[in-house]
Amino acid sequence: MILTKPQQRIAQDTNRFRLVAAGRRFGKTFLAIRELCYFARLPKTTNYYIAPTYRMARAIAWEPLKERLAKLRWIKKVNETDMRIDLVNGAKIFCRGADNPDSLRGIFVSGIVIFDEYADMDPNIWTVMRPAMADKGGHAMWIGSPKGKNHFYDMYIHGKNNDNWSAYKFTSAEGGQIPAQEIEAARRDMDERTFKQEFLADWVDYVGLVYYAFNEGCVAKFAEDTPKQIYIGMDFNVDPGSAVIAHQHKDGLHVFDEISLRNCNTFEMADEINKRYSNCRVHVFPDPAGSARKTSSITTDHKILSNAGFNVHVRRSHPAIKDRINSVNSAFSSGKLVIDPSCKSLQNCLTKLSYREGSNEQDKNSGLDHMPDALGYMVEYLYPITKIQPPRVEPARWAINAPPMRRFG
Question: Tell me: the pLDDT tens digits for 213-241?
Answer: 898 889 988 766 778 899 999 998 667 88
Cα–Cα distances in angstroms (integers) from residue 66 to residues 5, 75, 371, in the given order: 26, 8, 40
Confidence of residue 407 (pLDDT cuts 50, 70, 90): very low
Query: Over 90: is that where the pLDDT of 38 sits?
Result: yes
What pTM was computed for the model? 0.64
pLDDT at 408: 35
pLDDT at 185: 85
The mean pLDDT value of the chain amounts to 85
pLDDT at 289: 75
Strands, E, within 181-314: which ranges? 229-235, 241-249, 252-261, 281-286, 311-312
Answer yes or no: are the C-beta atoms of 157 and 9 closer than 8 Å: no
**Where does 257-369 have alpha helices with state H?**
266-276, 301-307, 321-334, 344-352
Q: Which helix (H) or strand (E) holds 45?
A: none
How many other C-beta atoms can be found within 10 angstroms of the C-beta atom of residue 77?
10
pLDDT at 118: 92
Distance from C-alpha of 222 to C-alpha of 96, rounded to nearest angstrom: 48
Residue-wise pLDDT tens digits, 167-224 = 999 998 888 788 888 888 888 877 788 888 889 998 877 668 899 889 888 998 876 6
Residue-wise pLDDT tens digits, 125-140 = 898 889 888 888 899 9
Q: What are phi and psi of 104, to 5 degrees?
A: -95, 0
β-pair partners for 210: none
* Complete domains list, the chain, with CATH: 5-179 (3.40.50.300), 216-387 (3.30.420.280)
pLDDT at 67: 92
Query: Over 90: is that where the pLDDT of 30 sits?
Result: no
Pick from 58, 32, 184, 228: which is nearest to 111 by CA?
Answer: 32
Q: Which residues of 232-257 are buried (b: 16+ CB within 10 A; e: fewer)?
A: bbbbbbeebbbbbbbbebeebbbbbb
Encoded amino acid at 37, one letter: C
Confidence of residue 123 (pLDDT cuts 50, 70, 90): confident
pLDDT at 257: 94
Residue-wise pLDDT tens digits, 261-303 = 988 888 999 999 999 998 899 999 998 875 555 555 578 889 9
